[in-house]
Amino acid sequence: MTAQSRRVAARISELIDQRRPFVQATVVRAQCPTSARPGDAAVVFADGSIEGFVGGQCAEGSVRVAALDALEQGESVLLRVLPEDSEAFPPSPGAISVVNPCLSGGALEIYLEPKLPAPELVVVGRTPIADALVDFGQHLGFAMTADPEADIDPVTATAVLVASHGRGEEETIRRALDAGVGFIGLVASTTRGAAVVESLDLNDDERRVVHSPVGFHIGAKTAEEIALSILAEVVRSVRLDGLVAPKPANDEVEAKPIEAIDPICGMTVVVQRDTPHLRHDGVDYWYCNPGCRSRHQGEL
């Protein structure tokens, strides 16, 4: 592993801890002449910025466009960046090929892997069921937060599971609703759960968010079986119903970058601060490289 790759690996670990979405880009094949080498790596953020190295400006532009699409779709893809007039790869699932006319030759294959924060489940309570939820949830790949005292601010939570057996349930549910959490599960009997929900005087939209009693009916008896039934309902909500965490405040959302078409080569360009640019007669143009800008400037 090169020094640059080690830096990217450390940065990836840091970003995962920060729960920041990004795409990990790794060069898996490089055909000379090209400035990139197998093992070179970078991270691509939702605003189109790149940290690391996966090739020169021309290759980087193709990576940026494909990575943003991979991040939006949440699916990994093998990107093949080919020079003009090269022999095309046959189509294959999970791989895309782009012809980059500004490449000076060579070809690259770059694996793009979206890294999205694991759904966060906040478990409230100090009970055997709460312990089982945390244990099972971690095995399912959820980011589990346990807060026995219910002193939480579930702004980033995908779901809040209340397993406190009568301790502060109404207050916790109200706080989670106010934070915009889309799934709030109350561990309670049908009778007691109905009484708790009734006491909250919820509107129709709020009532749909509160699941009481939470969990699928599977005849569960033990704490572990109850946790299984609850997490099954959460998984279904995430996978089939599109449950996600509340969106952060506008100033915390990474702005989606502007895309433009290079008027010379026809490539899609993600506009960044250093993207070659020309303004002519009140019209802005962006280019994949300075050569295209110079050529277009001469034609205007």
Short-list 85, 162, 154, CA closest to 123:
162
Predicted pLDDT of residue 251 = 46
How far from 144 is each of 88, 126, 179, 242, CA to CA, in Å?
46, 14, 18, 19
CA dist., res. 269 & res. 258, Å (int):
8
Cα distance between residue 211 and residue 190, in whole Å: 11
pLDDT at 6: 86
Contacts for 155 with CB less than 8 Å, ≥ 6 apart: 179, 180, 246, 248
In eight-state DSSP terms, residue 279 is: E
pLDDT for res 41:
94
* pLDDT tens, per residue, the chain with 300 residues: 677 778 999 999 999 988 899 999 999 998 887 788 999 999 999 999 999 999 888 788 899 999 999 999 999 999 998 887 766 666 678 899 888 777 667 789 999 999 998 899 999 998 999 999 999 999 999 999 887 665 555 567 899 999 998 888 999 999 999 888 999 999 999 999 999 999 999 999 999 999 999 999 999 999 999 999 999 999 999 999 999 887 655 445 566 788 899 898 888 888 988 889 999 889 999 998 888 888 898 888
Determine what percent of the chain falls in helix, strand and coil, rounding each to the nearest 5: 35, 25, 40
**pTM higher than the cut 0.85:** no
- State the distance between the two ends of the chain, measured CA to CA, in whole angstroms: 47
Looking at the DSSP bridge assignments, the partners of residue 283 are: 280
Report the C-alpha gap between 79 and 269 in whole angstroms: 16
Q: Say what the pLDDT of residue 155 is.
A: 61
Neighbours of 300 (CB within 10 A): 10
pLDDT at 88: 61
Output the pLDDT for position 298. Answer: 87
Q: What are φ and ψ of residue 160, in 5° steps?
A: -120, 125
pLDDT confidence of residue 86: 67
DSSP per-residue string spanning 201-244: T--HHHHHHEESS-S--S---SHHHHHHHHHHHHHHHHHTT---
Rounded CA separation 1/269 (Å): 31
Pairwise CA distance, residues 43 & 53, whole Å: 9
Cα–Cα distance between 227 and 129 in angstroms, integer?
6
> Hey, what domains does the chain have and what are their CATH numbers?
15-115 (no CATH), 120-239 (3.40.50.720)
State how far the Cα of 136 lies from the Cα of 161, in Å rounded to an integer: 13
Nearest to 272 by CA among 261, 287, 292, 257: 257
Q: Count H helices and E strands in the chain, helices first.
A: 8, 15
Q: What pLDDT does residue 250 have?
A: 45
Tell me what pLDDT residue 134 has: 96
Q: What pLDDT is attached to residue 257? A: 87
Segment (H or E) for 292: helix 290-299
CB 16 within 8 A of CB 224: no
